[in-house]
A = this chain, B = another copy of it.
Amino acid sequence: LSPHLENPRRGTLVPIGGAEEKVRDAAILKGFVDLCGGEGARIAVIPTASSLPDTGDQYVALFESMSARASSLAFDTRADCDNDDALATIDRADGVFMTGGNQLRLSTTLGGTAVSKLLRRRFADGLHVAGTSAGAAFLSEHMIAYGDEGSTPRSDMVALAPGLGLLDGVIIDQHFRQRDRLGRLLTSLAYNPCVIGIGLDEDTAAFLGPDEKLVVRGSGAITIVDPTNMEYSSMDSARRHEPVNIVGVRLHVLVEGGTFDLRTKEARPPQTPGA
């Protein structure tokens, strides 16, 4: 019942905090291409979140400059999500990449369609899936739809909605330090401390394989908020827009090479013996 997958055959998930470096040292995007098989890897780009017309083509050009074979899939309406050619492209892909924009464009357009079902099925069978910014937020079962800035949790500062559901038990936030989002992530967990919060800085990614161990890559940090042993949350009695009491959350900030195990809840800095 909605456990972590515990499926050794599933693909690797790569949520990215947005604004990933694309030219000078595109380590994250290159890492995703390598993950998908390197030269000749087939990558399907889903630009649905973006309101700009050329976002998909820009990522296709980037991935092709890295020797991948990429194509962009125009899922603009829910009817588009029944397109057989586009579904066949996903069926043959080694990796899928979802661009930034607005995660509610992704959920309202793809949610419950043949595209969502196919992504879930193929991910369970080894497809790698990356998403940046809105594309990262959309990956998990519970997603932050939108919210307010600030580091103090307050009732009603965040709107949660169902996401794509490739990963249970986490909530992913992005542009984390740049947009001061600790408050809205804490608020998300205060409703029900059954999920781990993952706050991704810009140009920073979590590579999360089927072993449920997350590895940090990129120039920023990932903030892990673990409410497993939370002693108290006042969300049930908080008035709307008022600050919320939270007691006993565990917090980690991890940079390049740091790891966090979603099963054991253990964080390790890079190059620790035994890490």
Contact A231 B78 (CB under 8 A): yes
The reply on A21 being an interface residue by CB < 8 A is no
User: Which bracket fits the contact residues of A?
Assistant: 35 or more
Q: Which residues of B sit under 8 angstroms from A57, Cβ to Cβ?
A: none
Across-interface contacts of A162 in B (CB, < 8 A): 142, 160, 191-192, 194-195
Interchain CB contact under 8 A, A163 and B192: yes
- Interface window among A64-72, A88-96, A116-124, A201-209: A116-124
Copy number of this protein in the oligomer? 2
Least Cβ–Cβ distance between A101 and chain B, in angstroms: 9
Contact with B along A97-141 (1 / 0, CB 8 A): 000001011011101100010001001100000000000000001
A-B contact pairs, 18 of them (CB 8 A): A1-B165, A1-B168, A78-B230, A104-B191, A104-B235, A105-B236, A107-B191, A107-B236, A108-B191, A108-B236, A109-B236, A116-B194, A141-B141, A142-B142, A156-B159, A159-B159, A159-B160, A162-B192
Tell me the A residues contacting B by CB distance below 8 Å. 1-3, 5, 77-79, 102, 104-105, 107-109, 111-112, 116, 120, 123-124, 141-143, 145, 156, 159-163, 165-166, 168, 190-195, 227-228, 230-236
